[in-house]
């Protein structure tokens, strides 16, 4: 029963609107799961609930045996769940290296006082963070852009930097909100390869929201489909492709037409 | 450039500064020394104010409250019991304060500590809100402090204020504190703590998602800023030697805001430049408040003309040069060297 990550009958209401209803999901270590559904199905709300940005009305979120439903966002990140955002949220006026260095902030052991006095202990820690951040940038192939301001980067690179920044928090579960949005086919292939590499080297689980069906079907082992806040189907890409409810959600229709 | 040569340059710069101060202290007029003291105090205030407004991106409008707290704390602690008795003619000063008398240095530390303590307590309500709401709450705090100074007669002597403070503040005290504040705050900004604060300014949601405890970091900035504002308040009290609630109105906050916006929000260098320009410019512009003879016209002196000019400058900066003088850049040896080599290579300045 105690799985790696699970959401149990989670519901979130905004006023009278049920954005997510009785949503359950479990993820095993190392899995890559896709969360799909038409616009407004409640996918991002699920992400926001997992990362503590909004609290579920009812239901529990269990992470490695602990209930994290009411934890603050930064504590959830410390616990090992990192995310990216649908509309890219980089620290625009900071350079690429600094963007990644922020992710190591919670690993700081020296106090602000030693920072203000400039103790050697603190300087060593700053150097450690710098080196680790550069290592992450090298892994993602972003090291040559280190001193570039985040806001000046092309779109595809910004997406990649956001993933790198999330990885720098050293998560065990990574939530990607439409990582391939706005990318051209070449960039998408590159992204899929990058995600596969990251999964292998860090051994992390990934949950991703994506609208590009070919991308999702290509890399996910299991797919969960949402519509109007309800989970309507779950299975392998093959099963999802032929699921009548999924086809109805995407293409409309009464549903009694055989296909 | 190596760290060692930077250190040598920094030491050389500081010695030059203090050498200059020595010359002024020895040969300068009282008026010049007064302006230099003012400049140092406003540098301390502007740089610490910039930590909250520029680096953390919070529109904090209550530094006058912290300055007032620092000024009163320091004054009440450094006055002798006899001086206090002379001041409090309508009511008595409450007991422990009426007998305490500590050295100036200790009173300054206490001024900073008490201001930081106040910052700690008010940060709970203040940091629950952002943007315009935060501006309103902090503005309210500044006003509440001023009103309390007026009303709490048995502590602050009310509208009568405290008079005849010993003028402890000299060039060494004021510039010593200014240099210390700049170094310490700049170290904080350049550390990972400063990075986290900038990340919160850029995007608080993302910063929290990256594991930054936003409210604690903002509280830290708020308290450090309040500490130095409090110390500067103590210096100010012992410079002007008379303090009353009227000294710490919102105009003080507004002046600081002009300094950091004109200098460049988010840049300590900008804050320093802003403080120097404002303080020195304020004196230089005294001529506009004097009666003037222009040919056939005679303009009578208009008090307050300087503020009109400052407000006008602020409007111009907001309209045409929103980044201020420095933007978010800092002046550093590396920057100077790179500009210089570019200049010698290509012959184009800047």
How far from A117 is each of A114, A241, B182, CA to CA, in Å?
5, 61, 12
Instruction: Select from A89, A94, A125 the Cβ nearest to the Cβ of B198.
Output: A94
The tens-digit pLDDT sequence of chain A (259 residues) is 457 899 999 999 998 899 999 999 999 999 999 999 998 899 999 999 999 999 999 999 999 999 999 999 999 999 999 999 999 999 999 999 999 999 999 999 999 999 999 999 999 999 999 999 999 999 999 999 999 999 999 988 999 999 999 999 999 999 999 999 888 899 899 999 999 998 988 889 999 999 988 999 999 999 999 999 999 999 999 999 889 988 888 877 654 544 4
Q: Is B121 exposed, middle or buried (0-12, 13-18, 19+ CB in 10 A)?
A: exposed
Contacts of B209 in chain A (CB under 8 A): 51, 53, 73-74, 77, 82-83, 85, 89, 166
Express each pLDDT in B17-73 by its tens digit: 999 999 999 999 999 999 999 999 999 999 999 999 999 999 999 999 999 999 999
Q: Give the chain B residue whose CA is nearest to the CA of A119.
A: B187
H helix runs in A72-154, sequence order: 73-79, 96-102, 112-117, 120-140
Express each pLDDT in B293-318 by its tens digit: 777 777 777 888 888 888 888 888 88
For this complex, say whether ipTM is above 0.90.
Answer: yes
On whether the CB atoms of residues B126 and B119 are closer than 8 A, the answer is no
Quick check: A91 and B184 CB within 8 A?
no
C-alpha dihedral (B25, B31, B34, B39), degrees to nearest 10: -100
- Give the gap in angstroms from C-alpha B122 to the nearest C-alpha of chain A: 20
- Give the gap in angstroms from C-alpha B31 to the nearest C-alpha of chain A: 34
- Give the gap in angstroms from C-alpha A72 to the nearest C-alpha of chain B: 9
Report pLDDT for B350: 55
SS3 per residue for chain B: CCHHHHHHHHHHHHHHHHHHHHHHHHHCCHHHHHHHHHHHHHHHHHHHHHHHHHHCCCCCCCHHHHHHHHHHHHHHHHCCHHHHHHHCCCCCCCHHHHHCCCCHHHHHHHHHHHHHHHHHHHHHHHCCCCCHHHHHHHHHHHHHHHHHHHHCHHHHCHHHCECCCCCCCCHHHHHHHHHHHHHHHHHHHHCHHHHHHHHHHHCHHHHHHCCCCHHHHHHHHHHHHHHHHHHHHHHHHHHHCCECHHHHCHHHHHHHHHHHHHHCCCCHHHHHHHHHHHHHHHHHHHHHHCCEEECCEEECCCCCHHHHHHHHHHHHHHHHCCCCCCCCCCCCHHHHHHHHHHHHHHCCCC
Tallying the residues shown for chain B, one arrives at: 350
Quick check: A90 and B203 CB within 8 A?
yes
Segment B162-172 shows an average pLDDT of 94
Segment B320-346 shows an average pLDDT of 86
Radius of gyration, alpha carbons of chain B: 21
Please state, in angstroms and rounded to a whole number, the distance separating the CA atoms of residues B220 and B191: 13
Strands A173-177 and A205-209, bridge-based pairing: parallel
Instruction: Select from B188, B202, B212 the Cβ nearest to the Cβ of A74.
Output: B212
Instruction: Select from B202, B211, B224 the Cβ nearest to the Cβ of A93.
Output: B202
Quick check: B192 and A53 CB within 8 A?
no
Express each pLDDT in B173-215 by its tens digit: 999 999 999 999 999 999 999 999 999 999 999 999 999 999 9
Radius of gyration, alpha carbons of chain A: 20
A147-151: list long-range contacts, CB under 8 Å, 24+ apart.
Answer: A147/A95, A147/A96, A147/A97, A148/A95, A148/A96, A149/A92, A149/A93, A149/A94, A149/A95, A150/A90, A150/A91, A150/A92, A150/A93, A150/A94, A150/A95, A150/A96, A150/A99, A151/A90, A151/A92, A151/A93
pTM: 0.92
Q: Give the chain A residue whose CA is nearest to the CA of B197.
A: A102
Q: What angle do CA B320, B322, B324 make, to 5 degrees?
A: 105
Report pLDDT for A3: 77
DSSP string of A137-192?
Answer: HHHHT-GGGTTSBGGGS-HHHHHHHHHHHHHTT--SEEEEESTTTT--HHHHHHHH
On whether the CB atoms of residues B58 and B64 are closer than 8 A, the answer is no
Contacts of B177 (CB under 8 A, 6+ apart): B40, B44, B108, B228, B231, B232, B235
C-alpha dihedral (B61, B66, B72, B75), degrees to nearest 10: -120
Quick check: A89 and B206 CB within 8 A?
yes
Quick check: B210 and A166 CB within 8 A?
yes
Q: How confident is the model at residue B348 (pLDDT cuts 50, 70, 90)?
A: low
Quick check: B203 and A112 CB within 8 A?
no
B196: contact with A, CB 8 A cutoff: yes
- Give the gap in angstroms from C-alpha A30 to the nearest C-alpha of chain B: 21
Quick check: B188 and A105 CB within 8 A?
no
Domains of chain A: 5-91+171-251 (3.40.50.300)
Report pLDDT for A2: 58
Query: Of residues B183 and B333, which shows the higher confidence score?
Result: B183
Please state, in angstroms and rounded to a whole number, the distance separating the CA atoms of residues B53 and B49: 6
Quick check: B211 and A129 CB within 8 A?
no
- Give the gap in angstroms from C-alpha A255 to the nearest C-alpha of chain B: 40
Look up residue A109 and give its two tokens: 């052991």
Please state, in angstroms and rounded to a whole number, the distance separating the CA atoms of residues B265 and B271: 8
Quick check: A165 and B205 CB within 8 A?
no
Segment B240-256 shows an average pLDDT of 94
Question: What are phi and psi for residue B187, nearest 5 degrees?
Answer: -60, -40
Report pLDDT for A257: 47
Quick check: A105 and B191 CB within 8 A?
no
Look up residue B14 and give its two tokens: 């500081």
A79: contact with B, CB 8 A cutoff: no
Look up residue A146 and give its two tokens: 């280190």
Map residue A202 onto helix, strand or coil. Answer: helix
């Amino acid at each position: 029963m105690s799985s790696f990550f699970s959401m149990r009958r989670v519901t979130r209401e905004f006023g009278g609107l049920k954005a997510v209803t009785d949503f359950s999901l479990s993820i095993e270590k190392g899995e890559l799961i896709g969360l799909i559904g038409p616009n407004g199905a409640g996918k991002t709300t699920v992400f926001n609930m997992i990362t503590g940005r909004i609290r579920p009305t009812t239901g529990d979120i269990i992470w490695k045996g602990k209930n994290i439903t009411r934890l603050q966002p930064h504590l959830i990140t410390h616990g090992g769940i990192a995310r990216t955002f649908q509309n890219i949220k980089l620290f625009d006026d900071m350079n690429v290296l600094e963007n990644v260095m922020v992710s190591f902030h919670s690993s700081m052991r020296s106090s602000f006082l030693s920072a203000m006095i400039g103790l050697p202990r603190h300087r060593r820690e700053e150097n450690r963070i710098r080196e680790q951040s550069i290592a992450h940038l090298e892994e993602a192939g972003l090291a040559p852009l280190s001193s570039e301001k985040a806001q000046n980067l092309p779109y595809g690179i910004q997406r990649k930097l956001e993933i790198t920044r999330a990885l720098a928090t050293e998560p065990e579960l990574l939530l990607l909100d439409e990582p391939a949005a706005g990318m051209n086919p070449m960039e998408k292939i590159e992204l899929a390869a990058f995600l596969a590499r990251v999964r292998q080297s860090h051994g992390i689980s990934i949950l991703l929201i994506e609208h590009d069906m070919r991308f999702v079907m290509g890399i996910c082992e299991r797919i969960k489909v949402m519509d109007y806040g309800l989970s309507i189907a779950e299975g392998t890409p093959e099963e999802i492709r032929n699921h009548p409810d999924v086809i109805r959600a995407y293409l409309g229709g009464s549903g009694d037409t055989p296909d | 450039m190596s760290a060692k040569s930077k250190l040598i340059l920094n030491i050389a710069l500081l010695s030059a500064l203090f050498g200059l101060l020595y010359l002024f202290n020895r040969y300068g007029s009282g008026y010049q020394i007064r302006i230099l003291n003012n400049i140092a105090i406003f540098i301390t205030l502007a740089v610490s104010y910039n930590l909250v407004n520029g680096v953390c991106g919070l529109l904090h409008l209550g530094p006058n409250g912290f300055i007032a707290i620092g000024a009163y704390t320091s004054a009440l602690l450094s006055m002798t019991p006899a001086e206090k008795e002379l001041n409090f003619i309508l009511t008595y000063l409450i007991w422990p304060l009426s007998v305490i008398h500590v050295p100036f240095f200790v009173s300054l530390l206490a001024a900073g500590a008490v201001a930081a303590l106040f910052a700690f307590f008010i940060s709970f309500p203040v940091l629950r809100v952002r943007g315009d709401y935060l501006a309103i709450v902090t503005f309210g705090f500044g006003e509440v402090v001023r009103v309390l100074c007026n009303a709490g007669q048995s502590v602050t002597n009310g509208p009568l204020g405290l008079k005849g403070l010993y003028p402890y503040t000299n060039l060494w005290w004021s510039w010593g504190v200014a240099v210390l504040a700049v170094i310490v705050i700049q170290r904080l900004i350049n550390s990972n703590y400063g990075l986290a604060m900038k990340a919160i300014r850029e995007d608080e949601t993302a910063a929290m998602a990256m594991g930054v405890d936003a409210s604690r970091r903002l509280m830290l900035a708020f308290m450090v800023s309040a500490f130095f504002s409090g110390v500067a308040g103590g210096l100010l009290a012992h410079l002007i030697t008379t303090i009353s609630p009227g000294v710490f109105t919102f105009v003080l906050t507004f002046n600081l805001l002009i300094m950091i916006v004109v200098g460049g929000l988010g840049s300590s260098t900008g804050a320093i430049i802003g403080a120097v320009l404002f303080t020195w410019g304020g004196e230089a512009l005294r001529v506009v408040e004097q009666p003037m003879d222009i040919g056939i016209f005679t303009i009578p002196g208009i008090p307050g003309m300087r503020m009109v000019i400052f407000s006008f400058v602020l409007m111009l900066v907001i309209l045409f040069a929103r980044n201020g003088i420095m933007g978010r850049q800092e002046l550093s040896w590396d920057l100077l060297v790179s500009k210089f080599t570019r200049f010698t290579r290509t012959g184009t300045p800047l």
